Structures are given as C-alpha cells and as structure tokens.
Amino acid sequence: MMKLASIIVFTSTLLLGACAHNTAGIAVDSNGQVRVDSSSFASDVNVTDIASIMVGDLVKASALIQSKSSYDQRVQYKFTWFDANGYTIENEATSWKSVKLHGMQQLQVSAVAPNTQVSHFEIYVRETYSD
C-alpha cells in the first residue's frame, strides 16, 4: 500500500511539473536598463516610462506596462527594492500583483518603497495563465 501511495505522489508531481508554465518575463531597473527573459512575452508586452519621486523620505516608483497585441492578456508585476549596496529590501514582503491588459492597453503601475533605505528598484513583469 505504501508503494502505491509513493507511485501516486511521484506521478502527480510529474504531471504538475509538466503543467508548469514559463514564468520568465521582462525586468526594468530604475536606470531604465531592460532585461528580457522571454522574447515571446516581450513581443506582446513592453515596460517603459520608468520613473521615481520622493514622497516624504520614501521612493515612489512607477512604470508603464503596454500591450503590443490585440488580444487580452493577464500579467503580473512586482517591484523589488534595493539599498545603496544593491541588497534587496523586504523582498519576501512584496507580492506579485495581477492585472488584465486589454488589447493595445497601457497601464501605469506604481508602488512605494517599504522603508527609507531604498535607493533604487526593479520592476518585473511576467505572463500569467489564470483568469
């Protein structure tokens, strides 16, 4: 019986792994440097107009996510914050946000740094496969 349970768990793991989709996307840092991890996603979505302002002692970052296709698509984005030495700040506390982009839509997104140690940021945008 234990062997059967092990086989079922192993088979389920393989099937779930086969269903996993590529989570690669586009990253743009606060200096405007773009890194494309998925060229097919980058042909459908663009990230531009990276900007930041100070709100009190905190950095407020913004970016424009642009659909380059005529169909609706769901994407996720996440801001990652860095200190002056390049270390991530409170990365686990920052969650992915999901948005639906309609064909050719442009959507400005923004976030405020979690603390005053932040000196720069990166936004990462990737495709999602749920409605």
Q: 11 vs 50, which has greater pLDDT?
A: 50
Structure tokens at 101: 């982009």
The CA distance from 29 to 120, in Å, is 8
Q: How far is 130 from 110, CA to CA, in rounded Å?
A: 23
**What pLDDT was estimated at residue 23?**
76
Q: Which of the four pLDDT bands, split at 50, 70 and 90, describes residue 92? A: confident
pLDDT score for 94:
85
The span from the CA of 3 to the CA of 69, in Å, is 49
The band of 84, judged by pLDDT with boundaries at 50, 70 and 90, is very high
pLDDT, tens digit (0-9, with 9 covering 90-100), for 12-29? 433 333 344 557 999 999
Scanning 20-71, the segments in alpha helix (DSSP H) are: 39-42
* pLDDT above 60 for 91: yes
